[in-house]
């Protein structure tokens, strides 16, 4: 039987996910994270062409104030940043399209993304709690990272419920 897409305006929660993907694509992955790849040593560097100076300064302020591991940039940390830049960034762009258009094929990739994101955030938060570069303000860092725990869980629940998260059989009423 043929399937028809449930209109986006009937999938209200998907608006949250789309905004999350857009923010992560433009702001987090290709500004905040990219800064950590183009500046190896934040104590001795020249400002790169990208990200902008204001973003570099913001990332360094946040790292010095709340998040020492961001400034230390150990190898395992840089690995999570490379995962974000090489895999999550393109995923966010594709996911924005798929969620807006209601493309069921994004389901598997979304579950993989959510699983890897939760793994990365768990590893990072263990360091923040009691690692070599533990945060001096754990509450602030937890609040700053809460979205990368809650949203992946929400999306995985949304995608797990049905093989066809965005469509219904023609003739059936859309699920609200």
Domain region containing 84: 3-165
What confidence tens digit (pLDDT) does each residue in 155-167 have? 999 999 999 999 9
Is 138 part of a structural domain of the chain?
yes
Residue 173 lies in a domain: no
Residue that has been written with the tokens 């602030």 in this structure: 140
Domain assignment present for residue 22? The answer is yes
Give a yes or no: residue 94 inside a domain: yes
Predicted pLDDT of residue 171: 74
How many separate domains does the chain show? Answer: 1
Q: Is residue 83 part of a domain?
A: yes
Question: Measured between alpha carbons, how far is 40 from 44 in angstroms, rounded to an integer?
Answer: 9
Q: Would residue 109 count as lying in a domain?
A: yes
Pull the structure tokens for residue 123: 């590893």
Report which of 65, 58, 63, 44 is spatially closest to residue 124, judged by C-alpha positions: 63
23 domain-assigned: yes
Assess if residue 171 is contained within a domain: no
Q: Give the tens place of pLDDT for each residue, 15-27.
A: 999 999 999 999 9
Residue keyed to tokens 């700053």: 144
């Amino acid at each position: 039987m043929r399937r028809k897409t449930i209109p986006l305006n009937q999938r209200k929660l998907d608006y949250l996910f789309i905004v999350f993907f857009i923010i992560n694509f433009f702001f987090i992955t290709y500004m905040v994270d990219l800064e950590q790849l183009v500046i190896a040593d934040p104590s001795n560097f020249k400002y790169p062409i990208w990200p902008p100076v204001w973003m570099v300064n913001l990332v360094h302020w946040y790292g010095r104030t709340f998040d020492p591991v961001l400034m230390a940039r150990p190898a395992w940390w840089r690995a999570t940043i490379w995962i974000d830049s090489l895999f999550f960034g393109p995923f966010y762009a594709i996911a924005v399209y798929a969620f807006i258009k209601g493309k069921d094929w994004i389901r598997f990739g979304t579950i993989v993304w959510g699983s890897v994101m939760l793994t990365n955030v768990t590893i990072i938060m263990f360091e923040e709690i009691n690692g070599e570069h533990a945060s001096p303000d754990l509450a602030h860092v937890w609040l700053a990272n809460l979205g990368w725990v809650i949203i992946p869980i929400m999306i995985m629940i949304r995608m797990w419920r049905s093989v066809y998260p965005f469509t219904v059989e023609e003739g059936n009423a859309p699920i609200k």
